[in-house]
Amino acid sequence: MSDWRMKPESNRAVRVLRVVEEAEGVSTLYFRDPLCREAQPGQFVMVWVPGLEEVPMSLSTIDEESSITVKAVGPTSGALTSMRGGALIGLRGPFGRGFTIMGERPLLVAGGIGVAPLKPLLERMLTRGLKPTMILGAGTRDRLIFLRRFRELLGDRLHIATDDGSLGYRGLASEYAENLLEEHDFDIVYACGPEGMMAAVYRAAERFGLPIQVSLERYMKCAVGLCGSCAIGPYRVCRDGPVFDGDMLRRVLDEFGHRRLDPSGRPIQLENG
């Protein structure tokens, strides 16, 4: 028969190899999947928990063993974070347009669980001999994800921002990004985190005349560009995104950072929107 099962669209079950708790309610699930191994940083998979729902998740490791890093926010993500090695999950994907590595002096800005798609991007940049700088932000020091890994990889090119000042800069990662953009000579900015944070980083990058790529999150059903659930302006996040560059963001400024569609297709305001 044909190889239709080996296409990204095809549902396949994989066994979770191990689960690493990154913070309270945040876990990384490792698994082997030949299609994910070939993914681009920033691409996502649809992850099905049999008996519960299927949800979009960015790949947080792209390698022989790939991973997703999940924050418990509902029943399905909650079930994922409390899984153990040996559990079975369904995968579709990888889908969408990932990050494009450009420039020589990149700044990566990560907020909370938004760090997930930036991790494989950072790892690939290092493989290519680039010297990326990263701002890792979270509410408090215990919620900084991949802190040890990034310290090893980046040394003093890792900057920390916590809302409560328990580690590093006290304040928002986006504010700290503006400071760094002022002081240093970056030539591209990548960001992923709460959408208000990404919108602030976008505005800062625009002010400094720098290209930017951000990874957006929207409610998704089909994930293959058919149903329109994840529409933002003229784009489908699942197909044209999830990574948006400055040119694309400029066309959706009325929505970016402000609102998204609920499952019925009606707009709802984003928090901090």
Partner 1 sequence: MTKSIGLRPREGHPNPTVVHVEGGLLNAMGLPNPGVEHFLGELRRLKDWGIPVVASFFGETLEEFVEVASRLSEAGVDALELNCSCPNVEGVGVLGGDPGAVKRVTEAVKGCVDRPLFVKLSPNVSDIAEVGRAAERGGADGLTAVNTLRAMAIDVEARRPILSNVIGGLSGPALKPVALRCVWELYEEVEIPIIGCGGISTWRDAVEYLLAGASALQIGTAIMIRGLRVFREINMGLRRYMEEWGFKEVSEIVGLAHETRIQQGR
Q: Report the interface residues with partner 1, using CB under 8 A.
A: 1-2, 4, 7, 9-11, 13, 46, 48, 50-51, 53-55, 88, 90, 92, 220-229, 239, 262-266
Q: Which of 165, 267 has the CB closer to partner 1?
A: 267
Phi-psi region at 93: left, alpha or beta (left = phi > 0; alpha = psi -120 to 50): left
Rounded to the nearest whole angstrom, what is the least distance from the CB of residue 12 to partner 1 in the complex?
9
| Residue 219: both structure tokens together | 């409610």
CB nearer partner 1, residue 53 or residue 182: 53
Q: Which of 183, 182, 181, 159 is nearest to 171 (CA)?
A: 159
In the complex, what is the shortest distance from the CB of residue 221 to partner 1, in angstroms, rounded to a whole number? 5
Rounded to the nearest whole angstrom, what is the least distance from the CB of residue 15 to partner 1 in the complex? 9
Both structure tokens of 159: 């900057």
Q: Which two tokens stand for residue 70?
A: 């999940």
Q: Which is nearer to partner 1, 203 or 221 (CB)?
A: 221
User: How far is 175 from 200, CA to CA, in rounded Å?
Assistant: 8
CB of 218 to partner 1, least distance (A): 13
Q: How crowded is the C-beta side of 8, counted as CA atoms within 13 Å?
A: 18
Closest to 173 in 3D by CA, of 259, 110, 131: 110
Minimum distance of partner 1 from residue 72's CB (angstroms): 17
Closer CB to partner 1, 1 or 269, in the complex: 1
Distance CA 225, CA 241 (A): 10
Of 6 and 102, the one with the shorter C-beta distance to partner 1 is 6
Cα–Cα distance, 142 to 32 (Å, whole number)? 29
